[in-house]
Amino acid sequence: MIIQNKIHTPPPILLEQVAYTARYRHLSLSTERAYIQWIKRYILYHNKQHPCTLNETHIKSYLAFLVNNNGISKSTHKQALSALLFLYHDVLNITLPYIDNIERPRVTARLPVVLSKEEITLIFSYLNTEDLFKCQLLYGTGMRLLEMYQLRIKDIDFGLNQITVRAAKGDKDRITVLPQKLLVPLQQQIQTATAIYQTDRHLNRNGVYLPDALEKKYPTYATQLSWFWLFPAAKESTDPRSKIIRRHHQHEQALQRSFKKAVSLSGINKPATLHTLRHSFATHLLQNGQDIRTIQSLLGHSSVQTTMIYTHVLKINQLGTISPLDF
């Protein structure tokens, strides 16, 4: 979590360079925004001195301040350091003698929160029809939240019973399963999206965002139904990068709030979030005898070691261990 700083912001010229370089490096918009915030706070901490006049000592003092005064987590500490390394290496092209030797905090692997099938059923009972469908889609496919919202109509393949997840974490594509119980709701969602698409075309509105300069190479794709969002937003908005007014996909916050409320109403005392549905997807597949390599492919993990965390969740039951109290 980035902690807000109330000091006036520095001139935006350097920050514009950071944004330009981030886009050139094809960093995600969320990463770009996070890096800009950390760099802005770094400059403000050192009384608006230009980073060219600072060195690794200043970096260490800034990171020490974040840890000791703001109590940031290891992962947040790591992100702040990555932002400053990006600033010096990629934006300013400055080589500091000891910057690469600044120790990165070792993030300890934690067991994921997993819901039982009964707990998922209970939580789902407190969701309205629209939110229930989305949560079922997350649980039934193992997708991340943003991956679901970035789906295009063309990514749903009813013939092969599969969903293609495009440009996921690590900019990788993958295939995941299409739950048979969601065939009808998915078809209905496509009909809803198609109606919005037809309205946009009737009003000659700008087409949807296309990745990797596809809009320049294939200018008609942006106005084709196949590239339209599966979950289009109710209203148009301004593209944060191109500043073009167009229709984007729905925002994640509404579903996050709805799921959080459902967890509270269910009385389940677990810190469950929408990402917990992804953990539960993998764990339940493992419980049902699915091999670890297949689960790795469905989740899009680069290394099977990442997927192996779910075997630890089930390890006690797999070993048949019985508490001595139950003897």
The Cα-based distances of 209 to 51, 78, 219, 242 in angstroms read 34, 31, 11, 10
Is 26 among the residues known to form the active site?
no
Query: Which is the catalytic residue, given 174, 279, 284, 301?
Result: 301
DSSP state of 246: E
Is 275 among the residues known to form the active site?
yes
Nearest to 209 by CA among 149, 264, 293: 149
Residues 6 or more apart whose CB falls under 8 angstroms from that of 154 comprise 226, 227
Task: Determine the Cα–Cα distance for residues 8 and 44; give it in Å rounded to an integer.
Answer: 8
Residues 6 or more apart whose CB falls under 8 angstroms from that of 173 comprise 164, 165, 166, 167
Per-residue HEC secondary structure of 47-59 comes to: CCCCHHHCCHHHH
Q: Where are the beta strands (DSSP E) in the chain?
A: 156-157, 162-165, 174-177, 232-238, 245-249
137, 179 contact by CB (below 8 A): yes
Query: Which is the catalytic residue, given 134, 144, 152, 279?
Result: 144
Residues 6 or more apart whose CB falls under 8 angstroms from that of 60 comprise 102
Phi-psi label, residue 72: left if phi above 0, alpha if psi -120 to 50, beta otherwise: beta
Is 169 among the residues known to form the active site?
yes
Task: Determine the Cα–Cα distance for residues 239 and 109; give it in Å rounded to an integer.
Answer: 36
For residue 121, give the amino acid letter. T
Query: Which is the catalytic residue, given 248, 278, 279, 284?
Result: 278
Task: Determine the Cα–Cα distance for residues 296 and 176; give it in Å rounded to an integer.
Answer: 11
Query: Which is the catalytic residue, given 42, 62, 88, 310?
Result: 310
210, 244 contact by CB (below 8 A): no
Is 144 among the residues known to form the active site?
yes
Query: Which is the catalytic residue, given 169, 205, 246, 261?
Result: 169
Catalytic residues: 144, 169, 275, 278, 301, 310
